[in-house]
Amino acid sequence: MVVSWLKHRFSGGLLALDTTNTVVLRGDPANSFDRFEDAAEIARFAEAASGFRSTELGARGLFFQHSAAAARQVVALREAADGLFREAAADGEIQTGRLPEFLRASAACLDESAERLGAGGMPFGDLSRPMRFEVALAVSALSLLADDAWRKVRICRNCRWLFLDRSRNASRLWCDMSVCGNRHKAKRHYERRRQAAREAVHA
């Protein structure tokens, strides 16, 4: 099935987190699935991310040149980043034991890259040509370790996606209020009504 890479799928607020969210319903083995299972989706995701993550990327475009090795590198970094930052979000601390896998996966994605980050004042460098997706993914993931940026990573209460909470009072609960916030409210409303109905029966 071809994935529609809609705005909601970029609710992570950072390229690296949007990428971790390409596994749907993590922690729910019966329903979880991987949108990158078909590696052709990585290229389509990279193209959509060029638009949705334009601010982070300084308007640099991304592309993914498919190869089995490149797809493996992307998935390896995605999983290492999810493990590291999900745990950091839950516990409020970084486990050094998780760093080697994360750093190795980042290094593999950066291997043979020759980018000049910050060139021309652009965070991801030269805008005249697109950047390899796996390189941008590594730069984005590593940026979470700078200046304690990882402290803003949250886990959506509804879908368990990771997202960056940039709200002033750091109080966001949902990756996307219009989707997960409303679903949660509807569920609570339903549960309250069911409870009220039950109490009416027992009254």
41: which strand partners? none
Q: What is the closest distance, in whole angstroms, from the C-beta atom of residue 7 to Zn ion in the complex?
A: 13
178: which strand partners? none
Nearer to Zn ion, 61 or 181 (CB): 181
d(CA 22, CA 17): 9
Q: What is the closest distance, in whole angstroms, from the C-beta atom of residue 140 to Zn ion in the complex?
A: 20
d(CA 97, CA 39): 29
CA nearest neighbour of 132 among 102, 99, 108:
108
Nearer to Zn ion, 85 or 161 (CB): 161
Residue 83 has what DSSP assignment? H
55: buried, middle or exposed (CB in 10 Å: 19+, 13-18, 0-12)? Answer: exposed
Q: What is the closest distance, in whole angstroms, from the C-beta atom of residue 32 to Zn ion in the complex?
A: 14
Q: Which helix (H) or strand (E) holds 164?
A: strand 162-164
Nearer to Zn ion, 19 or 73 (CB): 19
Nearer to Zn ion, 6 or 107 (CB): 6
Q: What is the closest distance, in whole angstroms, from the C-beta atom of residue 190 to Zn ion in the complex?
A: 18
Q: What is the closest distance, in whole angstroms, from the C-beta atom of residue 99 to Zn ion in the complex?
A: 27
d(CA 4, CA 167): 27
If one counts every other C-beta atom within 10 angstroms of the C-beta of residue 112, the result is: 6
Nearer to Zn ion, 132 or 154 (CB): 154
Nearer to Zn ion, 150 or 161 (CB): 161
Contacts with Zn ion by CB under 5 A lie at: 156, 158-159, 161, 175, 180
d(CA 70, CA 143): 21
Q: Which amino acid is at 27?
A: G
Q: What is the closest distance, in whole angstroms, from the C-beta atom of residue 4 to Zn ion in the complex?
A: 17
